[in-house]
A and B are shown apart, each in its own frame.
Chain A
Amino acid sequence: MYINVKDVSVYYTQGGGTFEALKNVSLSINQGEFVCLLGPSGCGKSTLLNLLAGFEKPTKGEILIGEKQVTAPAPKYLTIFQNYGLFPWRTVLHNVELGLEAKGMRRQARRQQALKYLEMVGLAQAKDKKPCQLSGGMQQRVAIARALAAEPEILFMDEPFGALDAITRMKLQDDILRICKEEGKTIIFVTHDIEEAVFLADRIVVMEANPGSVQRIVEVEMPHERDRTSDDFIVVRDKVFALMHLKKDKEVEYYI
């Protein structure tokens, strides 16, 4: 297994009591896999992502990526944030170059690499603009290009399309799927949108709250290039709906 979450718990103390953000979570993820963490707010899915990305430390248990324990964030494992985290004082191109500067890459090589990935997300023509001149969807594309340019092994995505409108969101879902299959990245993707999870994931980790834990792991046995309106898609979606107790049992309320 490539990523191993071993019996991880996270407790926060607040006002004398302890709050269990995550309780005894274990999970294994393969290289190249697209895994969605799905659940209602408060189920600890973002906490789990932060642990994987090294931004937080578990109270109990350990997390291994490729046999090494995760203790701090690293450029090999990059996170895409919901609010993009682009630097408004830099142009699009310079934003994408950020990770390459940290690696000490030369200016010319940096520029080339950044342009390559901007082209991949379809924004090469916007390279000299400032982030504030772009729409939310375009900004998130820039953030994705910035991450890809640094050539990470894993992308952690924390509700990356949560702030976008439905149509833009679907376009970006298509793009991220295509790009990640092309580039062979492992992706851990946090969302509370069931359709999004069913559309994207190889496996969906359904989580529940109080305490935050894994309820069930659903394999999505459909090839990629999924059709959101196909019968297969709806079957899987309904299964997840049912798991999350969102499917209403149609009880007969009265007889005539």
Chain B
Amino acid sequence: MRKKVWYTAVSLAVLIVIWEAAVLLGKFPEVLFPSPAGVWSAFWQLWESGLPGSSSRVVLGTHILVSLKRFFIGYVSAVVTAVTAGLLLGWFSKVFYYINPIVQLVRPIAPVAWMPFIVLWFGIGDAPAVVIIFLAGFFPVLLSTVAAVEHMDPVYRKVARNFGLSQVQTIRKVVFPAALPQIMNSLRLALGTAWIFLVSGEMVGAQSGLGFLIIDAKNCLRSDALLATMITIGVIGLLLDWGIRRLEKLVL
């Protein structure tokens, strides 16, 4: 653990030094390539008073909370539906043979491509981000849950049948726990993907959130604020990943 902190600290310090050196030696205009110090002060400005000249007078903390709220609504509902559907489809694998072609057809479509329909069907505001995060999280979790159930040790199925467990008992007491390690793994991957899509989800129609802030900073020609928001998104992504790793360890 201590080693890990050390690696991280050194890595970030070196990055910042190179970055600062590049700015100083390259003599770029501040707006094209903001310096670390500039980004830091932009971050504080966003944190304390929000972006000047923005259409919304909201500070960074509120944007973060709004984004997290949308993110968790989308992600948690994706996980719940995908795991439930995955367990059932994995168990009744004949049904899955019919569903799978459709899933495979829809899966490669980038969630953002749905945007016009999403706006038409769900309106603007929180909905687009929530739906996009849902779409981004749903398919990976669904498919790995199905795969986990299909690759379950066949002896578990035999034991469950032999001891006379009902279908519901079998899914709840045998199939789900047997598939859980793989499900947890897919939850972590889906969390990362879904967080990436948050920004795209908030770029259309939203008047708040980190994705909106990206667009807002762009419109105000504030590259320092833009970078500060990007780094914020990265750090939160990192923290989310750390959180789900902890959860994984706790559950398994």
Contact = CB atoms under 8 A, between A and B. Distances in A.
Most chain B CB neighbours (cut-off 10 Å) among A74, A81, A98: A98
Interface residues of B, number: 17
B23 interface: no
Given A74-B164, A102-B164, A87 B158 contact: no
B11 interface: no
B162 A83 contact: no
Nearest to A103: B164
A168 to B, nearest CB: 20
Given A83-B155, A85-B156, A101-B169, A73 B161 contact: yes
A102 B169 contact: yes
A233 to B, nearest CB: 33
Interface in B137-192: 153, 155-156, 158-159, 161-166, 169, 173-174, 177-178, 180
B177 A73 contact: no
Nearest to A156: B162
Contact of A55 (B158, B165, B174, B178): B158
A37 to B, nearest CB: 18
A44 interface: no
A255 interface: no
Contact of A79 (B162, B169, B180): B162
A226 to B, nearest CB: 30
A101 B162 contact: no
Contacts of A72: 161
A85 B158 contact: yes
Contact of B163 (A78, A81, A83, A89): A78
Interface of A: 53, 55, 72-75, 77-79, 81, 83, 85, 87, 89-90, 98-99, 101-103, 150
Interface of B: 153, 155-156, 158-159, 161-166, 169, 173-174, 177-178, 180
